[in-house]
Structure 1
Amino acid sequence: MDRISTAGTILGFVVIILGTILKGSTVEALWNPAAFVIVFFGTLAALLVQNQGTVIKRALSMAKMVYQTPKHRPHDLISRVVGWSEITRRQGLLGLEPQIEVEKDPFISKGLQLLVDGGEPDAIRSVLEVDMSTREAIDLAGAKVYENAGIYSPTLGIIGAVMGLMAVMQNLSDPSKLGHGIAAAFVATIYGVALANMFMLPMAARLKALVGKQSLMREILIEGLVSIAQGDNPRQIQTRLQGYIE
């Protein structure tokens, strides 16, 4: 679990609750079922209209990446690629077959299989780059769902506030209800703005950064496999790949 992201989420809730208390209000004042329905379900409705089901599904599956960040270790990947190069120099390309069987990453397995099958360097690069671009586009679309949620939720918050004020205006004859009604109306604005700026937009930015790191790892892998296919020696490959991270 990513402790920084978890701490940030908890801190966000604490800031809202503590700020409410310090302003002289109560925690109970933050709860308003009508505002919750308008902001959260309204935002969800907008996202469902904008995106296909597959995009929404991908976005939901990516949410855990914020709190369980995938480990991107380019130095380790470079070491592995150099190791594969050394194997091919001693045993030939067929010496990499055992590596395919134990590899858990489908992208790496695919690249190694292309290499073992004797694919030309340009062909290996072309196939893997298409795969990388497709996966990157899918992941960025998933991350954009959270970005769009951060755009819609403040507007839904305003709508909720206006609807609350409309209800207040209908009860002007009863002054005892005005204060509570106005306070409840603005809860929707708090929901919308807080959801956008403390959660949705930061999540979108974090996911985009993770997608970028994943693409960099795949670029390193592609360059390494192509270099092996070209017959470059391990030291040359290591020097070339280190240029991606230095």
Structure 2
Amino acid sequence: MDFLSVVGIIIGFSAIVGGNLLEGGQVTALVNGPAFLIVLGGTLGATLLQFPTAIFMRSLKISLWIFKPQTLMLRKQIEKIVDWSAMARKEGLLGLETLIDLEKDDFAVKGLQLLVDGSEPDVIRDCLELDIGAREFKDLQAARLFEAMGGYSPTLGIIGAVIGLIHVMKNLTDPALLGTGIATAFVATIYGVGFANLFFLPIANKLKMQVFALSQYREMLMEGIVAIAEGENPRNIELKLSGYLDEKLKAKKRGR
């Protein structure tokens, strides 16, 4: 569970509501059904028009990463790769075949299968790099869906404001209806800018970070598999892959 995401949402929402209360306003002043419908409904409609169904469904799936990010156990995976290397040196590459059915990561399964099939290191690298690129592109497109929503939302807020002002102009002779129009105008603007900067854009950027982290994890896995195919010493493989660990980077900083 990523508690920073929860804390960030709470702080952002509380800052808006709290600031309004400190200015002497009321919470109900920020609640406006028509403005909410115009901004969120319009933003969703524009987004659905821009993106295909596959990307939209993928974005719904990876949106769970905001609160439950992918667990990338780099050190444990390095240890596993070193064990694969030792097994390959002892039993040959065909000895890794028994591990394929035990491996849960489909990317690792693909790499192991290429090893067992006796593919050349360059062929293995090319195949896995294409896989990494394709997966990263698909997930980045899904993350950019929220980025697009962050772009549409303020514009829809302006449209909501204009609609509210149109109602104001139509009812200048009826003071009782002026308040509703003015409220829709200003609250729609708040919704548009607030949703974009407090939710949609931060969500997009957080998902992008997760996508890049996952790609780096797969890159590390690819380097380990290629090193096994090249017959490198398990100890050398471990030293090479340790560069992906945050702990090593922190140790370098402390040594400066």
Fold-level match, TM-score > 0.5? yes
2:190 matched residue in structure 1: 190
Between the aligned partners of 2:214 and 2:140, the Cα distance in structure 1 is 11
Q: Secondary structure, in 3 states, of the residue corresponding to 1:63?
A: helix
Superposition deviation, residue 2 in structure 1: 1.0
Instruction: Read off the aligned partner of 1:23 and give its amino acid letter.
Output: E
1:15 matched residue in structure 2: 15
Q: Which deviations, in whole Å up to 9, do the C-alpha atoms of 1:138-181 show, x marking residues without a partner?
A: 00000000111101100000110110011011111123443453
2:53 matched residue in structure 1: 53
Q: Secondary structure, in 3 states, of the residue corresponding to 2:101?
A: helix
Task: Tell me the number of residue pairs that the alignment of Structure 1 and Structure 2 aligns.
Answer: 246
Taking structure 2 as the reference length, what is the TM-score of the superposition?
0.92
The answer on 1:89 being equivalent to 2:121 is no
Identity %: 51
Instruction: Read off the aligned partner of 1:50 and give its amino acid letter.
Output: Q
71-80 or 84-93, larger mean C-alpha shift: 71-80
2:254 matched residue in structure 1: none
Superposition deviation, residue 237 in structure 1: 1.0
2:120 matched residue in structure 1: 120
Instruction: Read off the aligned partner of 1:104 and give its amino acid letter.
Output: K
Gaps of 5+ in 1: none
Superposition deviation, residue 135 in structure 1: 0.3
Between the aligned partners of 1:209 and 1:89, the Cα distance in structure 2 is 36
Between the aligned partners of 1:67 and 1:230, the Cα distance in structure 2 is 40
Between the aligned partners of 1:118 and 1:154, the Cα distance in structure 2 is 55
Taking structure 1 as the reference length, what is the TM-score of the superposition?
0.95
2:70 matched residue in structure 1: 70
Instruction: Read off the aligned partner of 2:52 and give its amino acid letter.
Output: Q
Q: Is the 8 A contact 1:29 1:184 kept in 2?
A: no
Gaps of 5+ in 2: 250-256
1:108 matched residue in structure 2: 108
Q: Is the 8 A contact 2:32 2:183 kept in 1?
A: no
Q: Secondary structure, in 3 states, of the residue corresponding to 1:189?
A: helix
Superposition deviation, residue 95 in structure 1: 2.2
Q: Which deviations, in whole Å up to 9, do the C-alpha atoms of 1:10-43 show, x marking residues without a partner?
A: 2222222222222222222222121111100100
1:140 matched residue in structure 2: 140
2:252 matched residue in structure 1: none
Q: Which deviations, in whole Å up to 9, do the C-alpha atoms of 1:39-91 show, x marking residues without a partner?
A: 00100111111111111111111110010011123222222111111111122
